[in-house]
């Protein structure tokens, strides 16, 4: 029997391991499970999985530390890692992303979210294997083509950030390509077919009601940014935005 790919599931909770295993085997994947860090390391080194579902909190070693070890051993080059956690934080997600994690799922696991994350991770692996030398992948603005190590790292960062819905802060001097990078994140994300708006912070400061709407005397005024539902908003010079508006956003 030909499998669609090899997946390693690492979680100290037996019910969750078996649930994910049953779902993914029904989808045609070969699935290996591990209950702790020691088993995970052995299976990872031995089996070269395509995708790893890795629990953040385990009794012997946390998932972030295990991810760091596997990265140091060079075992992430051909594997996409999806972190799973029942009480994850933004800081944990950011650190996992920095180390090379592909996605971050929260417990209780959604069947649809699990399958979507699996299919997207597998699709990305196939693209990467057909594109081993870092040529431009679909979704990139023409200004971001390049083969230098710095540009390849930039592309990798945008691809990782595009998987999340959390806000992204892009820092850089004027003319350094901040807008191109932000647009690339949008174009690589599931939001790519939805609107993208670029606003200067002063536009929001000068007329917040126009953009964000208001509620007065039980009357609701819908702001213009409501049309971006499902899309992306780029705010230029966000450090100039008033603290009140930052909280509102």
* Class for the domain spanning 149-247: alpha beta
Cα–Cα dist 59/37, whole Å = 8
pLDDT score of 3 more than 60: yes
Radius of gyration, CA atoms only, the chain: 21
Choice among 10-14, 17-21, 38-42, 214-218 with the minimum mean pLDDT = 214-218
The per-residue pLDDT for 230 is: 81
Contact 234, 179 (CB under 8 A): yes
List Cα–Cα distances, 152 to 78, 80, 122, 148, in angstroms: 16, 17, 20, 6
Residues of the chain with CATH 3.40.50.2300: 6-130
* Residue 143 predicted with pLDDT over 50: no
- For CATH 3.40.50.300, the residue range(s) in the chain are 149-247
CATH topology of domain 6-130: Rossmann fold (3.40.50)
Mean pLDDT value across the chain:
82
User: How large is the average pLDDT for residues 42-63?
Assistant: 92
The residue-averaged pLDDT of 212-226 equals: 76
Residue 203: which H helix or E strand, with range?
Answer: helix 201-206
pLDDT in tens, 155-201: 788 888 888 877 888 887 766 678 778 888 888 888 888 888 888 88
Buried b (16+ CB within 10 A) or exposed e, 29-45: bbbbbbbbbebbbebbe
pLDDT at residue 128 is higher than 70: no
Q: Which residues contact 39 (CB under 8 A, 6 or more apart)?
A: 10
pLDDT (tens digit per residue) in 53-66: 999 989 889 999 99
Q: What is the pLDDT of residue 142?
A: 38
Model's pTM, two decimal places? Answer: 0.58
């Amino acid at each position: 029997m030909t499998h669609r790919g090899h997946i390693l599931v690492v979680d100290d909770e037996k019910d969750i391991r078996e649930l994910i295993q049953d779902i993914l085997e029904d989808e045609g994947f070969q699935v290996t499970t591990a209950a702790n860090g020691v088993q995970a390391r052995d299976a990872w080194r031995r089996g070269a999985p395509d995708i790893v579902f890795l629990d953040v909190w385990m009794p012997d070693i946390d998932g972030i530390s295990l991810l760091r070890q596997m990265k140091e051993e060079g075992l992430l080059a051909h594997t996409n890692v999806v972190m799973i956690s029942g009480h994850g934080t933004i800081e944990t997600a950011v650190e996992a992303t920095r180390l090379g994690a592909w996605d971050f799922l929260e417990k209780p696991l959604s069947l649809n979210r699990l399958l979507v994350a699996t299919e997207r991770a597998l699709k990305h692996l196939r693209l990467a294997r057909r594109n081993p030398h870092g040529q431009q992948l679909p979704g990139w603005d023409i200004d971001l083509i390049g083969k230098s190590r710095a540009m390849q790292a930039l592309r990798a960062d945008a691809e990782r950030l595009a998987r999340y819905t959390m806000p992204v802060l892009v820092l850089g001097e004027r003319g350094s390509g901040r807008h191109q990078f932000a647009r690339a994140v949008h174009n690589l994300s599931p939001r790519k077919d939805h609107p993208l708006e670029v606003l200067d912070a002063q536009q929001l400061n000068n007329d917040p009601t126009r953009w964000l709407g208001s509620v007065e005397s039980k009357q609701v005024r819908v702001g213009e940014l409501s049309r971006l539902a499902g899309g992306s908003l780029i705010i230029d010079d966000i450090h100039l935005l008033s603290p009140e508006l930052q909280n509102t956003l």
